[in-house]
């Protein structure tokens, strides 16, 4: 039963994403993008030559690719006004005591100390483009699990890193993957050794906290054969008046018989352009699940994907998008069946309020020879006002006859009968509306760890404030 | 003069935005502690009356008044009416997928508590819920289900009564709660309603029904018959027996008052 509400408040109350701490970045690059900047970033990170070359080549790719002419409106995004690299601290912190006070304050407002106390543990937090705090549970180290910042991953595990880096999302994949490849900074490097099962989720919190700052985190996760783990990442951003830009790349390899779940809840400030490429390569009999929650931002374009390349591989994408006034959530998922007996499922739920717009964009591709593949797509949109909007673009490409693809889409409005029913029991119209919305996302919220489900519900409540006139 | 619990005066209502007229002058008075039954053929306006009393936005009151404890409720929103003690058990309850009955009930109970009182303690709520589930002989797992989502007809009705038992209204309108209940459930629900009335001897009930079976359990003080948007006939419990035997044909609409 969804009794999340019975757990005591995590103190997210006063956090209505409108606070800024006064930490001083030690390094602040110039605004805008250039080859010089890319060289500086690489030098600053003391990277091997191959990485510098990779970045420079990616920059060329970025310049050569046209802006995507589909999805959301990017015309007001001005890359010359964005800082592509910031570095608040030179050193990685290992223990909580070493974390500077002002940063701690920020974390505290995000509820991270609670998470610590509850031994959710293993917190790697990204603050201003870089890891500043990184603690790993002892038992994980004993199990041989690697959970490092992406920079440390490259430094400490050069071969493993190079073997997988950019193999899942190559820079040529799309314009923003190319941009990320050129200027990436921050993110996690994770490797779960063969046969190791991690019970407690690995968590990374991060937070963008500098005006006009671009954040280009890069995460690489390797799940060796037969391993099992759950990685959680969540973030909120303070509100600023000028545009912000976030463009991450997440690459995951799930090897034979491994199981992996990647959970994100993102709640960006309303001026954020959020363009993320998340992709998993799923091998024989392996299982990959994306659980994705998108709130806030001006425009989000995000389509977690699973490439099912081994027989009996299974991929799942569960996503919730909430488009408030003036926001556009262009989200969905992509599944590629490239081996026999592969299965996939996409469940996407969106809520649009006021002038918000949500788009479901999905691709299901079945290659010739991927016999007995099964895919099921379900997307439900809930519109809260007459001004809200939703569109669905389900692309299906099937080259194999012996496969089955199901697609169901629904659009609903919060019904007058539902509201009347709830109000006749004493709920105000706003409470009634919030309750219908929470119920709508419940099938996905219940997949989240408790703290996240509470946070999500809290965010929805905040978003619903003033939703009725 | 002591106040009536519920007083309906010459109530006229139509479908909102200039739709058809349905209630054409309903008069009805229920005193504290009384139970009245409302019968009448399909489409005569019984559910419309129930929904107008509860404040459904789909209907527009064009004349008359509805008073609860002597105060007009027509300017109150449905939630305010609920918090004033009114309850409607729906003939066709809405489905709220993803929201558990327990969660819904807790929110409803908290909505009627003052700021000073604060939210109901989790344990107190659980105890109250268990008591009411016991009273109505419903499995505890029922409260974990999503509100009316995929419920059978009878389960929906039980859910309405569970809510009524939890919210303890001073005036309950039960719209065909007996329809769809099996024989045992009908007895259990009837006993539940009797228990609630026993706990609060001022509680009033307006019971809309087509069948006299439930009246056998609940013994109404008065029986009314609605025909074409008006109360056409009122009497004691024996009226229900007559209706069962003879149907509605022998009753005819009251003549409109002569215009002069
Ligand atoms: N929103 C509406 N729009 C149009 N007609 C309506 C509306 N609501 C009620 N009606 C009509 O008003 C009449 C009375 O309906 P109501 O539901 O009140 O009847 P009832 O007495 O409860 O019938 P039953 O015994 O079948 O439940 C019916 O003819 C119905 O079709
Ligand atoms: Mg009816």
Q: Which residue has the tokens 């809520």?
A: A351
Q: What is the DSSP string of B39-66?
A: E--TTSSHHHHHHHHHT-TTEEEEEEEE
| Closest CB from B88, B95, B122 relative to A424 | B88
A412 touches chain B (CB under 8 A): no
User: Residue B148 falls within a domain, yes or no?
Assistant: no
Work out the number of other CB atoms within 10 angstroms of the CB of residue A121.
17
Alpha helices in A8-149 (DSSP H): 35-44, 49-64, 101-109, 112-117, 138-143
Q: Which two tokens stand for residue A265?
A: 């809840």
A interface test, pick of B55, B57, B78 with most A CB neighbours within 10 Å: B78
Number of domains in chain B: 1
Rounded to 5 degrees, φ, ψ at A426 are 105, 0
Tell whether B110 is covered by a domain.
Answer: no
Query: Residue A8 — very low, low, confident or very high, per pLDDT cuts 50/70/90?
Result: very low
Nearest CA to ligand 1 atom 30: B43
The per-residue pLDDT for A297 is 85
Note whether B168 and B135 are within 8 A (CB). no
The pTM (predicted TM-score) of the whole model is 0.80
- A339 close to A310: Cβ distance less than 8 angstroms: yes
Closest alpha carbon to A109 in A184, A20, A34 = A20
Pairwise CA distance, residues A381 & A113, whole Å: 35
CB A273 within 8 A of CB A67: no
- Cβ-contact B54, B78 below 8 angstroms: yes
Distance B42 CA to ligand 2 centre (A): 7
CA distance B124 to A291: 35
Judge: A423–B90 Cβ closer than 8 Å, yes or no: no
**SS3 (DSSP) at A234:** strand
- What is the domain range of residue B212? 6-94+169-246
Nearest-5° Cα angle at B147, B141 to B150: 85
DSSP, collapsed to helix, strand or coil, labels residue A40 as: helix
Q: How far is A320 from chain B (nearest CA, A)?
A: 14
pLDDT value, residue A87: 58
Q: Give the CA dihedral A61, A67, A72, A76, nearest 10 degrees.
A: 110
Q: What is the CA radius of gyration of chain B?
A: 18
Q: Do B99 and A436 touch (CB under 8 A)?
A: yes
Instruction: Tell me whether A9 touches chain B (CB under 8 Å).
Output: no
Domain contains B204: yes
Does the residue B219 lie in any domain? yes
Chain B residues closer than 8 Å to A414 by CB? none
Mean pLDDT is lowest, of A113-122, A190-199, A332-341, B212-221, for A113-122
- B112 to A426: CB separation less than 8 angstroms, yes or no: yes
Higher pLDDT, A234 or B106: B106
Q: Is residue B85 situated within a structural domain?
A: yes
Q: Minimal Cα–Cα distance from A1 to chain B, Å?
A: 5
Mean pLDDT of chain A: 80
Sign of CA dihedral B19, B22, B25, B27: negative
Predicted confidence (pLDDT) per residue in B32-53, tens digit? 999 999 999 999 999 999 999 9
Retrieve residue A436's tokens.
Answer: 């219908």
pLDDT higher than threshold 50 for residue B106 = yes
Q: Enumerate residues lining ligand 1, CB below 6 A.
A: B 15, 19-20, 22, 40, 42-48, 58, 91
Q: How far apart are CA A108 and CA A104, in angstroms?
A: 6
- Provide the pairing of β-strand A328-337 with A357-366: parallel
pLDDT of residue B40: 94
Distance B45 CA to ligand 1 centre (A): 6
How remote is the CA of residue A440 from the centroid of ligand 1, in Å?
30
B57: nearest CA partner in chain A? A420
Within 8 A of A456 by CB-CB distance, chain B residues are none
Smallest Cβ–Cβ distance between B144 and the set A1, A428, A442 belongs to: A1
The 10s digit of each residue's pLDDT in A37-89 is 999 999 988 999 999 999 999 999 999 998 877 778 888 777 777 777 765 44
* pLDDT tens readout for residues B150-207: 999 999 999 999 999 999 999 999 999 999 899 999 999 999 999 999 999 999 999 9
Strand B59-68 and strand B6-15: pairing? antiparallel
Contact between B82 and A421 using a beta-carbon 8 Å cutoff: no
Helical segments of A134-206, H only = 138-143, 150-156, 158-164, 175-183
Reading phi first (left if > 0) and then psi (alpha if -120 to 50, else beta), residue B115 is in alpha
In this prediction, residues A287-298 reach a mean pLDDT of 92
| CATH number of B61's domain | 3.40.50.300
Inter-chain CB pairs, A–B, below 8 Å: 96
* % pLDDT > 90, chain B: 80
Cβ separation B57–A416 shorter than 8 A: yes
Q: Which residues contact B114 (CB under 8 A, 6 or more apart)?
A: none
Per the CB < 8 A criterion, the answer to whether A251 and A220 are in contact is yes
Residue A141 has a pLDDT of 81
- Residues from chain A that touch B87, judged by Cβ atoms under 8 A, are 424
Subunit contact A1:B107, Cβ cutoff 8 A: no
B108 min Cα distance to partner chain A (Å)? 6
Q: How much is the pLDDT for A466?
A: 67
So what's the pLDDT on residue A183? Answer: 93
- Which comes out higher in pLDDT, residue B85 or A413? B85
- The pLDDT > 70 percentage for chain A reads 77
3-state SS assignment for residue B106: helix
Q: What are the Cα distances from residue B69, in Å, to B63, B66, B112, B163?
A: 20, 10, 18, 22
> In whole numbers, what is the pLDDT of chain B averaged over residues?
92
- Do B145 and B95 touch, CB atoms closer than 8 A? no
**Nearest residue (CA) to ligand 1, atom 16:** B45
Among the bound ligands, name the one nearest to the CA of residue B15. 1
Question: pLDDT at residue A398 above 80?
Answer: yes
Asked if residue B36 lies in contact with residue B5, where contact means CB atoms within 8 angstroms, the answer is no
How far CA B126 is from CA of A9, A140, A309, B34, B200, in Å, comes to: 19, 39, 49, 31, 22
Beta strands, E only, B31-161 = 35-39, 59-68, 71-72, 86-89
What local confidence, expressed as pLDDT, does residue B258 receive? 55
CB contact under 8 A, A418 and B167: no
Instruction: Give mean pLDDT, residues A242-251.
Output: 81
Residues with a beta carbon under 5 angstroms from ion ligand 2: B 46-47, 91
Query: Which atom number of ligand 1 is nearest to the Cα of residue B48?
Result: 18
CB contact under 8 A, B99 and A438: yes
Cα gap B168→B155, rounded to integer Å: 20
pLDDT at position A113, please? 43
- Name the token pair of B27: 């008069």
Residue B29 included in any domain: yes
Phi/psi for A77 (5° steps) reads -85, 115
State how far Cα B20 lies from the chain centre.
23
Asked whether the beta carbons of A429 and A412 are under 8 A apart, the reply is no
∠A258-A264-A270 over CA atoms, to 5°?
Answer: 160
For residue A207, name the pLDDT band (cuts at 50, 70, 90): very low
Given the DSSP bridges, would you call strands A287-296 and A259-268 parallel, antiparallel or unpaired? Answer: parallel
- Residue B55's pLDDT is 97
pLDDT the model gives residue A29: 58
pLDDT in tens, A416-456: 899 999 999 999 999 999 999 999 999 888 888 777 787 77
CA of A417 to the centre of ligand 2 (A): 15
Residue in chain B lying closest to A417 (CA): B94
pLDDT band, residue B255 (cuts 50/70/90) = low
Contact between B74 and B61 under an 8 Å Cβ cutoff? The reply is yes
Determine the Cα–Cα distance for residues B214 and B252; give it in Å rounded to an integer. Answer: 25
- Interface contact A469, partner B, CB < 8 A: no
Check if A444 contacts B (Cβ < 8 Å). no
Q: What is the Cα A207 distance to its own chain's centre?
A: 13
Tell me the per-residue pLDDT of A128-171, one tens digit each, with 9 for 90 and over.
Answer: 333 433 455 567 788 899 988 888 899 999 999 999 999 999 99
The single-letter DSSP state of residue A96 is G
And the tokens for B33? 């502690």
Looking at the domain assignment, is residue B132 inside a domain? no
3 state DSSP class of A111:
coil
Report d(CA A241, CA A219) in Å as an integer.
28
Identify the nearest ligand to the CA of B210 by its number.
1
**pLDDT number for residue B18:** 87
Let me know if residue B159 belongs to a domain: no
State whether residue B1 is helix, strand or coil.
Answer: coil
What phi, psi does A172 have (nearest 5°)? Answer: -70, -10
Q: Stretch A108-131: mean pLDDT, rounded?
A: 39
Position A467 scores a pLDDT of: 62
Would you say A161 and A220 are in contact if contact means Cβ atoms under 8 Å apart?
A: yes
What does each C-alpha distance from A286 to A254, A280, A308 come to in angstroms? 6, 11, 9
Higher-confidence position of A286 and A82: A286
């Amino acid at each position: 039963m969804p009794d999340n509400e019975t757990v005591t408040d995590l103190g997210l109350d006063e956090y209505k994403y409108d606070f800024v701490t006064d930490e001083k970045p030690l390094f602040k690059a110039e605004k805008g993008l250039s080859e010089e900047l890319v060289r500086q970033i690489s030098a600053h990170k003391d990277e091997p030559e191959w990485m510098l070359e990779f970045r420079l080549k990616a920059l060329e790719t970025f310049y050569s690719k046209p802006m995507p002419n589909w999805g959301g409106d990017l015309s007001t995004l001005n890359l010359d006004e964005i800082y592509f690299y910031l570095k608040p601290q030179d050193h990685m912190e290992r223990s909580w005591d070493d974390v500077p006070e002002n940063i701690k304050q920020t974390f505290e407002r995000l509820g991270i100390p609670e998470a610590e106390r509850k031994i959710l543990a293993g917190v790697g937090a990204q603050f201003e483009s870089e890891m500043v705090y990184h603690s790993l549970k002892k038992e994980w180290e004993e199990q041989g699990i690697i959970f490092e910042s992406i920079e440390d991953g490259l430094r400490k595990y050069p071969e493993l890193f190079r073997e997988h880096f950019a193999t899942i999302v190559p820079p040529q994949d799309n314009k923003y993957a190319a941009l990320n490849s050129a200027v990436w900074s921050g993110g996690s490097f994770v490797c779960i050794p063969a046969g190791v099962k991690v019970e407690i989720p690995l968590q990374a919190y991060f937070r963008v906290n500098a005006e006009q700052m671009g954040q280009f985190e890069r995460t690489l996760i390797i799940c060796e054969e037969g391993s099992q783990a759950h990685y959680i990442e969540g973030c909120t951003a303070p509100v600023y008046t000028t545009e912000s830009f976030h463009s991450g790349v997440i690459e995951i390899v799930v090897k034979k018989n491994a199981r992996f779940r990647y959970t994100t809840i993102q709640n960006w400030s309303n001026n954020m352009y959020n363009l993320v490429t998340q992709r998993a390569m799923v091998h024989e009999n392996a299982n990959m699940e994306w659980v994705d929650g998108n709130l806030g931002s001006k425009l989000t374009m995000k389509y977690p994907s699973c490439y099912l390349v081994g027989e009996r591989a299974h991929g799942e994408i569960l996503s919730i998008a909430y488009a408030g006034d003036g926001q556009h959530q262009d989200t969905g998922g992509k599944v590629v069946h490239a081996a026999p007996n592969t299965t996939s499922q996409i469940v996407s739920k969106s809520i649009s309020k006021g002038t918000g717009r949500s788009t479901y964009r999905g691709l299901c591709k079945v290659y010739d020879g991927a016999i007995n593949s099964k895919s099921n797509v379900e997307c439900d949109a809930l519109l809260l006002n007459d001004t809200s909007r939703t569109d669905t673009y389900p692309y299906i490409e099937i080259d194999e006859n012996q496969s089955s693809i199901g697609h169901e889409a629904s659009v609903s409005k919060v019904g007058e009968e539902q509201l009347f029913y709830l109000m006749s029991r004493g709920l105000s119209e706003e409470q009634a509306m919030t309750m219908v919305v929470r119920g709508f996302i419940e099938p996905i919220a219940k997949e989240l760890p408790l703290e996240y489900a509470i946070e999500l519900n809290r965010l929805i409540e905040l978003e619903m404030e003033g939703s009725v006139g | 003069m002591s106040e009536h619990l519920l007083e309906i005066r010459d109530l006229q209502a139509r479908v909102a935005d200039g739709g058809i007229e349905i209630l054409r002058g309903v008069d009805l008075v229920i005193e504290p502690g009384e139970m009245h039954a409302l019968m009448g053929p399909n489409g005569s306006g019984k559910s419309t009356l129930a929904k107008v009393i509860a404040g459904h936005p789909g209907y527009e009151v064009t004349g008359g008044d509805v008073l609860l404890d002597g105060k007009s409720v027509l300017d109150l929103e449905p939630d305010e009416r609920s918090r004033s003690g009114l309850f409607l058990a729906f003939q066709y309850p809405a489905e709220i997928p993803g929201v558990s009955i327990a969660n819904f009930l807790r929110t409803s109970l908290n909505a009627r508590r003052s700021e000073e009182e604060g939210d109901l303690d989790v344990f107190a709520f659980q105890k109250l819920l268990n008591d009411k589930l016991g009273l109505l002989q419903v499995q505890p797992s029922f409260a974990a289900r999503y509100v009316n989502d995929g419920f059978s007809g009878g389960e929906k009705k039980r859910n309405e009564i569970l809510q009524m038992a939890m919210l303890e209204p001073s005036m309950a309108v039960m719209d065909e709660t007996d329809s769809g209940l099996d024989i045992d459930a009908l007895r259990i629900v009837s006993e539940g309603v009797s228990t609630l009335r026993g706990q609060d001897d001022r509680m009033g009930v307006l019971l809309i029904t087509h069948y006299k079976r439930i009246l056998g359990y609940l013994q109404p003080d008065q029986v009314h018959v609605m025909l074409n948007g008006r109360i056409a006939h009122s009497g004691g419990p024996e009226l229900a027996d007559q209706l069962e035997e003879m149907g509605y044909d022998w009753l005819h609409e009251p003549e409109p008052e002569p215009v002069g």
